[in-house]
């Protein structure tokens, strides 16, 4: 009897330990990678065998969105699960679209990031790559839930006389003036593999926001000339190689089946030079689908059904609540989080509903469109002068059915007044909550501010 009870106790203990096993998470966030720049989304010029295999063994999210078509705002959403306007990261201190070196503004340390949520469950956390949420110590990754950081705090074209582009470990500058460093992707990959191996026996969260493929284009020499799309395509090939190194490390460590890996981009391709957002209209910096709908592949062997796809409306804001759920916890309950737990969609559960009844397209402070189901409506706007790029032309009210018109060619507003009326109601809700064009919303929270900037400088190794 004693032996039987002991066996039952042992089995219960083992079951409890298995049930309490927490998955690892790797989020790979490319920079300016277009919708059709990888094989799983129809690339005709870039060979991406690793990502092709990832899609065969996982799920493609075909209607996955970044919350903005430029860098800083999109990253604030991934970290907080919120629209950029909610956390006031939609513009910088000078009303520009992204943060620049030596900014006094950054992601408020009072915001709860996905890394901070996971740390409550015992996760090791590391950010490797482009941060772009402030370079003051208060705003850097090590003050936002990450145990360690290695990378460039902003875009690789932001080399300034007062702040030469730095490569940083935690808060210490290792080198400066590195905007043409062709080894950057390899360095990120080595750091990522090192982190995976060091934490194979505990749950971990690795956030890998690549510098690639933002200008200037600096693929490693071994990848140059290897594509049919110049340096841009060569760098896409290097990203694919990097993904292969991550999967190799997971397999060698015996934790491949314990790890969810998500691959996506911060916005669409700029398209002015290279890259493709087809069959979508538009590019980076715009609220056409090509600016904000991005490629997304998610893989978790045995958990996410292989070779599947979903056209549910999903977004970077969904990562925080979804990863929190999988780690056995919840998002912070003392504030509004815009993201949804999309695990039922990723798990391929029958009848899983769309992630969002409404998704809002903001360009900086301006609400320009809303999507609900297959319907996307652009609100009427007057012509305006932008502080970057070409002037924004005047825009009439436009309604598109994305299910039948993915390129947004046929305005059907006149024939669907009922849909227009419903979407106008959603626009009114967003304006009251998040604001629009200089008008604050009641649901906005404050960004972080410091009295004096403190950028990462080589001669200033400590904060």
At 415-445, the pLDDT tens digits run 999 999 999 999 999 999 999 988 999 999 9
Write phi, then psi, for 321 (nearest 5 degrees): -65, -30
| Average pLDDT rounded to a whole number, residues 190-210 | 98
Q: What is the token pair recorded at 201?
A: 């026996």
Which of 90-94, 201-205, 268-272, 280-284 has the lowest average pLDDT? 90-94
Three-state secondary structure readout of 223-284: HCCCCCCHHHHHHHHHHHHHHHHHHHHHHHCCCHHHEEEEEEECCCCCCCCCCCCCCCCCCC
Q: Is 71 a catalytic residue?
A: yes
Task: Provide the pLDDT confidence category of residue 354 given band limits of 50, 70 and 90.
Answer: low
Task: Provide the pLDDT confidence category of residue 337 given band limits of 50, 70 and 90.
Answer: very high
Q: What span, in angstroms and rounded, lies between the C-alpha atoms of 92 and 98?
A: 6
Which pLDDT score, from 0 to 100, does residue 20 have? 55
| Average pLDDT rounded to a whole number, residues 336-362 | 91
**Domains by residue range for the chain, with CATH:** 23-346 (3.40.720.10), 359-448 (3.30.1120.10)
The answer to whether 139 touches 106, Cβ cutoff 8 Å, is yes
Q: What is the mean pLDDT of the chain?
A: 91
Edge-to-edge order in the sheet of strand 398-401: 359-363, 366-372, 375-378, 398-401
| Average pLDDT rounded to a whole number, residues 29-37 | 96
Q: In terms of pLDDT, which residue wins out, 177 or 394?
A: 177
Question: Taking 70 as the threshold, does the pLDDT of residue 3 lie above it?
Answer: no
Q: How many CA atoms lie within 13 A of 334 on its CB side?
A: 3
Name the active-site residue from 132, 136, 237, 356. Answer: 132
Name the active-site residue from 68, 71, 82, 296. Answer: 71
Q: Which segments of 35-136 does DSSP mark as H helices, in order? A: 49-56, 71-80, 114-119
Please enumerate in sequence order all residues whose Cβ is within 8 A of that of 7, keeping only pairs 6 or more positions apart, or say none: none
Which pLDDT score, from 0 to 100, does residue 44 have? 87
Q: Is 90 a catalytic residue?
A: no
Q: What is the token pair recorded at 107?
A: 């992601």
- CA 80 to chain centroid: 11
Task: Provide the pLDDT confidence category of residue 13 given band limits of 50, 70 and 90.
Answer: very low
pTM for the full predicted model: 0.92
Q: Which segments of 61-109 does DSSP mark as H helices, in order? A: 71-80
Which pLDDT score, from 0 to 100, does residue 28 have? 98
């Amino acid at each position: 009897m004693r032996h039987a009870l002991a066996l039952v106790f042992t089995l219960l203990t083992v079951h409890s330990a298995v049930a309490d096993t927490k998955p690892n998470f790797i989020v790979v966030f490319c920079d300016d990678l277009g919708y059709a720049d990888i094989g799983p989304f129809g690339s005709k010029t870039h060979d991406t065998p690793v990502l092709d295999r990832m899609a065969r063994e996982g799920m493609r999210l075909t209607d996955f969105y970044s919350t903005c078509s430029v860098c800083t705002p999109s990253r604030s959403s991934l970290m907080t699960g919120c629209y950029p306007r909610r956390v006031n990261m939609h513009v910088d201190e000078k009303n520009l679209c992204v943060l620049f070196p030596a900014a006094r503004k950054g992601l408020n340390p009072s915001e709860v990031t996905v890394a901070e949520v996971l740390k409550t469950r015992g996760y090791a956390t590391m950010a490797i790559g482009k941060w772009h949420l402030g370079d003051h110590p208060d705003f850097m990754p090590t003050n936002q839930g990450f145990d360690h950081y290695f990378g460039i705090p902003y875009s690789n074209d932001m080399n300034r006389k007062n702040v030469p582009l730095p490569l940083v470990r935690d808060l210490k500058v290792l080198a400066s003036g590195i905007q043409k460093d062709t080894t950057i992707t390899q360095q990120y990959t080595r750091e990522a593999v090192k982190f995976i191996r060091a934490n194979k026996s505990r749950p971990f969260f690795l956030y890998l926001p690549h510098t690639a493929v933002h200008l200037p284009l600096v693929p490693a020499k071994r990848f140059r000339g290897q594509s049919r799309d110049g340096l841009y395509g060569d760098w896409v090939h290097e990203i694919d190689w990097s993904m292969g190194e991550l999967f190799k490390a997971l397999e060698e460590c015996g934790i491949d089946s314990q790890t969810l890996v998500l691959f996506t981009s911060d916005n669409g391709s700029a398209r002015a030079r290279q890259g493709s957002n087809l069959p979508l209209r538009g590019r980076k910096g715009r609220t056409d689908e090509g600016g904000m709908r991005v490629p997304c592949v998610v893989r978790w062997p045995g958990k996410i059904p292989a070779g599947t796809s979903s056209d549910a409306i999903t977004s970077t804001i969904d990562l925080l609540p979804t990863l929190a759920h999988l780690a056995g916890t919840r998002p912070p309950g003392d504030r509004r989080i815009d993201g949804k737990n999309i695990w039922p969609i990723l798990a391929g559960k029958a009848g899983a509903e769309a992630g969002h009844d409404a998704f809002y397209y903001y360009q900086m402070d301006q609400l320009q469109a809303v999507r609900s189901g297959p319907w996307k409506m652009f609100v009427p706007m007057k012509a305006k002068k932008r502080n970057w790029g070409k002037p924004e032309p005047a825009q009439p009210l436009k309604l598109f059915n994305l299910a039948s018109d993915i390129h947004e060619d046929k305005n059907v507003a006149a024939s669907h007044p009922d849909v227009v009326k419903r979407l106008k109601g959603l626009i009114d809700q967003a304006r009251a909550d998040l604001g629009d064009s200089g008008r604050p919303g009641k649901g906005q929270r404050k960004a972080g501010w410091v009295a004096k900037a403190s950028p990462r400088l080589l001669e200033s190794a400590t904060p």
